[in-house]
Chain A
Amino acid sequence: QSALTQPASVSGSPGQSITISCTETSSDVGDYYYVSWYQQHPGKAPKLMIFDVSNRPSGVSNRFSGSKSGSTASLTISGLQAEDEADYYCSSYTSSSTFFGGGTKLTVL
């Protein structure tokens, strides 16, 4: 059982916005300051989309944004596109461990 809980699936239509939540369910996760989000297409390696809760790596579309409130972090994708259909994973880092959420499958209708 993951210490970070994500919804199994979310869906949205092209052009819409969706939000994926990631809730800390274990004190083992630590201070939950260092939250990252990854996108994974089938058969591909994960790709970093957000780090440090709300920062985007160079080259990642500004349609992707991250936030955190209390024990729940969120990834928002605006202007949904067909290419956004993928699995999304949150992760949290402490000084000695990394935790991953169970993953959320995003379907673009």
Chain B
Amino acid sequence: QLQLQESGPGLVRPSETLSLTCTVSGGPIRSSSYYWGWIRQPPGKGLEWIGVLYYTGNTYYNPSLKSRVTISIDTSKNQFSLRLSSVTAADTSVYYCARHDGSGSYGYWGQGILVTVSS
């Protein structure tokens, strides 16, 4: 059974960079069938797509976040990562990693990690 698990600091200071890692178990991240993505959800609000990456390193980002986002992959560790720079309080959210299949749906999700931006 495929499992995804987010990890990283739960508190980030304003203007700094948020860094999270998603560890994938139960299947290879180096797969031609899937993309790997990040989605976030501010407290009490809806889902916001951040971006996805293919195992080759190709990435697609939400245009509204593109200037601040980097998603990368480490196939040797079966992990992929999110970096979001110059964070503000508006970036406070639960961040989810998820597997994106060919039809654009996300069938497997991590449990989510709350990241708070505060001084």
A interface residues with partner B (beta carbon < 8 Å) = 2, 34, 36, 38, 45-48, 51-52, 57, 89, 91-94, 96-103
If A45-B110, A48-B105, A48-B106 touch, whether A96 touches B47 (CB-CB below 8 Å) is no
Partner of A34, one of B37, B49, B104: B104
Is A36 touching B47 in the complex (CB atoms < 8 A)? no
The interface residues of chain A lying within 8 Å CB-to-CB of B52 are 98
Is B96 touching A101 in the complex (CB atoms < 8 A)? no
If A2-B46, A46-B47 touch, whether A98 touches B37 (CB-CB below 8 Å) is yes
Partner of A45, one of B49, B60, B109: B109
Most buried by B among A91, A93, A94, A103: A93
Partner of A52, one of B39, B96, B103, B106: B103
Is B47 touching A93 in the complex (CB atoms < 8 A)? no
Chain A residue, CB-CB nearest to B107 = A48
The interface residues of chain A lying within 8 Å CB-to-CB of B63 are 97
